[in-house]
Amino acid sequence: MPRFLHTADWQIGRQYARFAPEDALALAEARFSAVERLAGIARQEAVDAVLVAGDVFDAQTVSDRTIRRLFNAMGAYAGPWVLIPGNHDAALAESVWSRARRLGAVAPNVHLALGAQVMAFPERGFVVLPAPLTQRQTPADETAWFDHAETAPGLVRVGLAHGSVQGVLAEDIDSPNPIAADRATRAALDYLALGDWHGTRRIDARTWYSGTPEQDRFKANDPGNVLLVDIPAVGAEPEVEVRAVGRHPWIALEEKLAVASDLEGTIARLEALPELAVVDLSLSGEIHLLGRQRLEAALSVAEARFRSLRADLSGLRLQPTEDDLAALHADGYVGRVIAELREEQDGENAEVASEALAILAALLLEAQAQGAAA
């Protein structure tokens, strides 16, 4: 009986403006690479189809080159691909999908489900009931027609939709594209493949979100996967295997430093993170001068190891110890400046004062080292 790959939310063409240009380009390229890996898995596992539950593209305005590259990335799997539009790439009268067809980029084995109609693959033992979005937001449940869709007996019924299962996901992320929580039961579906939620999530035995194959947010909702789905027989419960495919995990760390050992723990946790990770590090608390130098050295190493590292030190207060100040030999005017900067760390210019204090301390230490070497 049928075997599928279920994936969604490729967001091809996404821009990463908050990142440095080099990292932004690599993260955009990673989305094409993820599709290539999916095609390889589909071929290796000899699936009967790849189901893509919406938001294939990040926007209607992606370039023609991006469109062509996406369909080229799918080339390693020659079986059926079934794609529906989501809220980012809705099937408007003029859309990224109509451009793709005009470009001749869509291969014969790629089936664009741009309307609500039964798509039968009797030679492979299944039918797909798609619920494509034809506008970015709709208050109606576009899967409602599944309940009355007639399909040939003996074929597995698979729903394909993009939206928010009502009453299950958190209220603040319920989208204007609602999906009834019991749609699979109402419509006698063997499986309902969903997109829109970027993490992998089981709604019930027959209803799953695959999540995006390449993580794109700092959310711990199990992204970076594809689902390998086996349906033993019509009416049988699907067998779903979650398979990790992402290369760039996005990891957010919030650390508070109070004593010297806290810094060592933070550095150890950074060193334990996987290479190619996208890391957002936020530090607060207090740190002494030698600790700040140790931190900066560790961040320099980590920056070269990770795909991207953003370190927010605005909440970190530099508190030189008496030994630190003595080592700086900062007396007279320089000593008064250091004292003023320490006090300013409690004011409205705290971040600037802390950074200035760190720079001044580093310059003093460097001058001392040069003097000793002369």
54-63 pLDDT tens trace? 999 999 999 9
Taking CA atoms, 138 is separated from 83, 141, 175, in Å, by 19, 8, 9
Question: Does the pLDDT of residue 280 top 90, yes or no?
Answer: yes
Question: Does the pLDDT of residue 329 top 70, yes or no?
Answer: no
Mean pLDDT value of segment 210-216: 97
Same domain, 126 and 175: yes
Same domain, 239 and 332: no
Question: Does the pLDDT of residue 273 top 90, yes or no?
Answer: yes
Same domain, 224 and 276: no
Same domain, 217 and 355: no
Radius of gyration of the chain (CA): 27
Q: Outline where the chain has alpha helix (H).
A: 21-44, 64-73, 96-103, 183-186, 260-272, 289-305, 322-328, 332-344, 350-373
pLDDT at 341: 72
Same domain, 236 and 87: yes
pLDDT at 223: 96
126 confidence band (pLDDT: 50, 70, 90)? very high
366 confidence band (pLDDT: 50, 70, 90)? low
Q: Among residues 214, 244, 274, which one ends one of the domains?
A: 244
Question: Does the pLDDT of residue 367 top 60, yes or no?
Answer: no
pLDDT at 317: 83
Question: Does the pLDDT of residue 196 top 60, yes or no?
Answer: yes
- Can you give the pTM of this predicted structure? 0.86
For the chain, give the mean pLDDT: 90
Q: Among residues 184, 210, 244, which one ends one of the domains?
A: 244
Q: Among residues 210, 244, 278, which one ends one of the domains?
A: 244
For residue 279, the enclosing domain spans 250-373
Provide the domain count of the chain.
2
State residue 237 phi and psi, 5-degree precision: -70, 135
Least confident of 91-100, 138-147, 344-353: 344-353
pLDDT at 260: 81
136/138 Cα distance (integer angstroms): 7
111 confidence band (pLDDT: 50, 70, 90)? very high
Question: Does the pLDDT of residue 287 top 70, yes or no?
Answer: yes
Same domain, 93 and 156: yes
State residue 61 phi and psi, 5-degree precision: -95, 15
Mean pLDDT value of segment 40-65: 97
CB 237 within 8 A of CB 206: yes
Question: Does the pLDDT of residue 363 top 90, yes or no?
Answer: no
Percent of the chain with pLDDT over 70: 88
pLDDT at 340: 73
